[in-house]
Every structure is written in C-alpha cells, then in structure tokens.
Amino acid sequence: MRDPVPSPGEPGTTRPEAFPLVRILEALEAWQREPDDVHRDDVAGALEGLLKVAGARGAVLEVCAPPLPELALGVGTLDPMPGAAERTGLASFALGSHDGHDTLGRLYLDAPAGSAEAVVRTIEVAVDAAWSRAAVHGRAERLAALEASTRAIAAELDIDRVLQLIVERVRDLIGASYAALGIADARGRMERFITSGISPEARALIGDAPHGRGLLGLIIRDARTVRAPDITQHPERYGFPDNHPVMHSFLGVPVIVKGRSVGNLYLAEKQGGAFTEDDERLTEMFAVHAGIAIENARLHDQVQRLAIVEERERIGKDLHDGIIQSIYAVGLSLEDVPELVEDDGGRDEAVARVDRAIDALNLVISDIRSYILRLRPTMGGEEDPVEALARLVEELGMHAVIDLEVDLDSGAPLLRSLSPDRRSDILFIAREALSNVARHSGATRTELVLHDDQGDLVLRIDDNGRGFDPAEVPGPDAFGRHQGIGNMRDRAVGMGGSFAVERPDGPGTRIIVRVPAPSGAGAPARATAATGDSRP
C-alpha cells in the first residue's frame, strides 16, 4: 500500500476533502500537463479515495487515449499492479467516451458487486472529461501551429522554398515520420516530388520519384483524401521500391486551388499510432492554405519573369533611342571626312569633325557603362533639359545638311518642371525624331517647337521631306512594326500623354507629343487620350 495522501496545499497534490470525482478530474488534468511521478501519485491517491467511498478494495487503471499521456497504476489490494495473468479473476470494464472515441482505457476492480457500477461510472466520466480537455487543448495548439506554419509559408515567395516548407511544416504539425508533396502533370505523372524526414543519401538510394501508381495515383485521379492504418494491406497498394523506408500508417490529401489540383500531400508513419480523423481534418485545412501559397509563389514567379521581359524591352528601347542614334550621328558626321581630307581647304574641318566624333563616342561609352551598372542613363546627366534639347538640335545641324528652326521658350518652364525620367523620355523622343529626319526624310528644313498649351507640354517636330501616309500606321499595333515610331509612342503614353504622326499641308511629316504637366506647374493639366489631340 502507498503512503497516506499529503495534506492539502502541498505541491503536486489534489484536495483530499474534495468530492472524489472532482479530485480525480483535478489529478488527471495535472497528469496531462506534467506526466511525472508526483502527478501519477496524485491520480493514485484520488482513485484510492474513490474506492474508499464506494467500499471497493483495489483497482488497476489503464489509460491509452492520445493526447492523454499513457497511464497504468494499481491501488489498494492491486498495488503493486498485477500482471495480465493475475487479472483474469478480476472484474474488467472498458472505459468509453461520449465523443465516439473507441476506448479510452480499461479498469480492473477488486470490489463487491454492488460497488462496481458507481466506481466505473465515476472513473469513466473523469477519464472522458480529461481526454476531452486534452483534445480541445491539443486542437488549439495545433491550430496555432497551423496558423504559424501558413503565415511562414505565405511569407515565402520562392516556389522551391515554398514547396519544401510545406512538407516540413505539415510533418511537424501532424507528428508524422515522413512527408512528401507531389506535383503531377496534366497526365497524372509526377513531375516534382519534395520530401521531408528522409536524408538526401537515402532518397538517392531509392532512385526516381514515384510514377503516381497505387495509393498515390488514387489521390491524383480522384482528388480525394485517403487514410489507411496500414498501407501494406490497402487494396490499391502498388508496393515500395528497393531501399524505401518501411511505412505502414498513411494519409494522403489533395492540394486544390479553384477546383484544380496543384499537388498532393502525403504523410506516413504517424508517431504513436495511426492517423486520426483530427489529423485528416487538420491536414486538409493545411492543404487549402498550402494551395494558396503555391499559387501565390507561382504568380510571383510569373511577375518576376514578366518584369525581366519588360526590363529587356525598356533597355532595348533606350539603346535604340539613345546609344544607337548617337553612334549613327557620329557615323553620319564622318561620312564626308575622306573628301575633306583630300581637299586642302577642308582638312581643318575634317580634324574638327574627328575631334567631335571622339567626344561623342566617349559619351556613348559613358552611357554603355550606365547600362552595365544597371542604371538607367539620363540624357545630359545633370545638364539643364532645355539646354540638352538645344544641343540635340545643334548636333543634327552639324551632322546633316538641314536648315533648323528652334523655338523652346514657351515650353522651357514646363520641361524643367518634369521629373528626371520624363525629361529623359522627352529627350529620347526628340533624338529619335530628329534622327529619323536625318536618315530617312530627305528633308532640307526641320522645325522643332516646345510650347505650353493650356498646361500641357507639347513637342512638335516638322520637316519638309518625302513624308509618308499616316494611314499606313493607323494605331498602336501598326506603330509597333516601326521600332523608332513605336518607341516614341510608348514613351509618350508611358508619361500619361499622347503621340501623333500627321502629314501637314504640303510635303513632309509632323510629329506631336503632348504630355500633361505635373500638378502645380503652369495651367491645370488636361486629361489626354492615348492617341491624343493632334493640334500643335
């Protein structure tokens, strides 16, 4: 027999004066929190008190109902606890649960027939209440762990890292020895298989990823949960390859987003027994969050790829509108140098042109360095944008035999009020337009006007060259077939403005760019359509 129960208030004790059911409830709850020898003795003391009240002589209590810790003890005449063979003459009672749990434990009694029922009912109610509390507490903890896991996964945008986090977190959450996430293609074949709980060396020994047969294929085909206490006995089993770990208990859950399967979660070898309905529900909840995280990571990956494509296109436009035009202008300025060198009176001019060409090429090299450093070059650097625009026109005059008329006064304040990116875009457009005049138009006269039109900045470039029919390039798609024109239009629209190509009265071409000025600069800006008002 054990020592008398300690006095109330001592650490690790229940209240001996309390009603027996209350004492047993308190003792089992304390045991659930800390399953040590002190709290085990508390349970035994509470059980002894119950036997004394009921007139029973001894009892053996066995509890095996996770998440309650396992418990086996004997009291009264059955202390020390007898072995299985010695219990054959004792009254034996299964302890059930009102919540549908198969069996919470078993009680053996050495007691008169009339006292057994009261003892059994009291113990059954106490164990059931303790199990229910532990289950609720466990669910709360697992839901908290689920929330923490889904937050961690949602914060990760790299798709490979997301997949690995999913299998690691769900394995810890459910208490499985192994976990895997399979991604199947449209034909149901595994294209990716991410694992947790198995070392890379052991994974390599197994060989190729599963082919989606057996239970794995069943989940892929039917998109439904499968839970099996022993996978080796399931009728849909296919078998394990050589060097595969031994697995019995199994839980497989589809990962579905918007009615479409994006993968399947597999868990094996539940620690401490088979997978439960709670495990199944929790894994299905996890799968919902995991599916959203996978979709988010995929979308992020697509956005990143799109951003790279857009950046390439932007750099291509900048190269075409800036560096390539600069190099072309240098080449144009050097075309007449051989003739000037042969002419005694033109050698000084030839030397001057070569010097200017070297200076221009040095600027081009500087721009190229900016691209290499992933910096967007701003034409003219810190140069005043109006002066930079005037310099562009001056360069065209030096490199081509064209009479130029320039009027920048009206629009100068608005140009200076724009952001650096917008100023750079205006300069790129002007350079492209003037370069087109020099290369393609055959013009002898060009006019560039920058003015303020009711708060909008308008850039107009006219030439008297051969021109072309604007109807041949009626819209954005058509402009896109002419890279220079398409680039100019994209830059104008990107600034929230408009771009138009017209054929003025008589020969030539007119290009009009209209850009809304920033609020507070000049007159109130007017909204413009994508194709815009083509009035100068």
**80 part of a folded domain:** yes
Tell me, rounded to whole angstroms, the distance of Cα 231 from its chain centroid. Answer: 34
More confident residue, 450 or 99: 450
Q: What CATH code is carried by the domain that includes residue 173?
A: 3.30.450.40
**336 part of a folded domain:** no
Instruction: Quote the percentage of the chain above a pLDDT of 70.
Output: 77
Taking 3-state DSSP, the helix, strand and coil percentages for the chain, each rounded to the nearest 5, stand at: 50, 20, 30
How much is the mean pLDDT over the chain?
77
Instruction: Decide: 408 and 388 in contact? Cβ < 8 Å.
Output: no
- Does residue 262 sit in the same domain as residue 399? no
Confidence of residue 448 (pLDDT cuts 50, 70, 90): very high
C-alpha distance from residue 394 to each of 397, 468, 505 (Å): 5, 26, 26
Instruction: Quote the percentage of the chain above a pLDDT of 90.
Output: 12
- Does residue 99 sit in the same domain as residue 203? no
Q: What is the pLDDT of residue 102?
A: 67
**DSSP code of residue 286:** H
- Considering 14-28, 98-112, 423-437, the range whose residues carry the highest mean pLDDT is 423-437
- Considering 51-60, 137-146, 365-374, the range whose residues carry the highest mean pLDDT is 51-60
- Does residue 98 sit in the same domain as residue 212? no
Mean pLDDT of 304-324: 70
- Does residue 128 sit in the same domain as residue 167? no
Final residue before a domain boundary, out of 271, 299, 327: 299
Helix (H) or strand (E) holding 228: strand 226-228
**416 part of a folded domain:** yes
pLDDT for residue 12 is more than 50 = no
Q: What is the pLDDT of residue 229?
A: 86
More confident residue, 216 or 49: 49
Is the pTM for the entire model greater than 0.85? no
- How far apart, in whole angstroms, are the C-alpha atoms of residue 353 and residue 356? 5
Q: What is the pLDDT of residue 217?
A: 67
Mean pLDDT of 16-38: 82
Q: 325: exposed, middle or buried (C-beta count within 10 Å: 0-12, 13-18, 19+)?
A: buried
Confidence of residue 215 (pLDDT cuts 50, 70, 90): low
- Reduced to 3 states, what is the DSSP secondary structure of residue 454? coil
Q: What CATH code is carried by the domain that includes residue 410?
A: 3.30.565.10
Say what angle helices 113-154 and 20-33 make with each other, to 10 degrees.
30
- Of 94, 79, 289, 22, which Cα lies nearest the Cα of 173? 289
Final residue before a domain boundary, out of 299, 314, 336: 299
- Does residue 119 sit in the same domain as residue 186? no
- Does residue 446 sit in the same domain as residue 524? yes
More confident residue, 476 or 135: 135
- Does residue 82 sit in the same domain as residue 162? no
More confident residue, 363 or 377: 363
- Does residue 405 sit in the same domain as residue 520? yes
Final residue before a domain boundary, out of 248, 281, 299: 299
More confident residue, 147 or 417: 417
Find the domain containing 515 and state its range: 379-536
pLDDT digits (tens, 9 = 90+) for 43-91: 999 999 989 888 889 999 999 887 888 899 999 999 898 888 888 888 8
Reported as half-sphere exposure (CB side, CA atoms, 13 A), residue 63 has a value of 26
- How far apart, in whole angstroms, are the C-alpha atoms of residue 226 and residue 250? 8
Confidence of residue 321 (pLDDT cuts 50, 70, 90): low
Mean pLDDT of 361-365: 74
**492 part of a folded domain:** yes
Buried b (16+ CB within 10 A) or exposed e, 408-420: beebbebbebbee
Mean pLDDT of 156-164: 79
More confident residue, 16 or 265: 265
**150 part of a folded domain:** no
Mean pLDDT of 296-314: 75
**463 part of a folded domain:** yes
- How far apart, in whole angstroms, are the C-alpha atoms of residue 242 and residue 350? 82
Q: Which of 221-235, 405-419, 492-506, 515-529 has the lowest mean pLDDT?
A: 515-529
pLDDT for residue 202 is more than 60 = yes
Confidence of residue 533 (pLDDT cuts 50, 70, 90): very low
Q: Which of 196-205, 230-239, 525-534 has the lowest mean pLDDT?
A: 525-534
- Does residue 258 sit in the same domain as residue 184? yes
Mean pLDDT of 146-155: 74
What would the two tokens of residue 57 be?
Answer: 């002589």
Mean pLDDT of 319-340: 74
pLDDT for residue 40 is more than 80 = yes
Q: Please give the tally of structural domains in the chain.
A: 3
**453 part of a folded domain:** yes
**For tokens 């088979």, what's the residue?**
274
- Does residue 389 sit in the same domain as residue 521? yes
- Does residue 243 sit in the same domain as residue 385? no
**144 part of a folded domain:** no
Mean pLDDT of 378-387: 65
Q: 320: exposed, middle or buried (C-beta count within 10 Å: 0-12, 13-18, 19+)?
A: middle
Confidence of residue 170 (pLDDT cuts 50, 70, 90): confident
Mean pLDDT of 369-382: 49
Q: Which of 284-293, 394-403, 520-529 has the lowest mean pLDDT?
A: 520-529
- How far apart, in whole angstroms, are the C-alpha atoms of residue 439 and residue 432? 10
What would the two tokens of residue 505 be?
Answer: 């009265």
- Does residue 120 sit in the same domain as residue 189? no
pLDDT for residue 100 is more than 80 = no
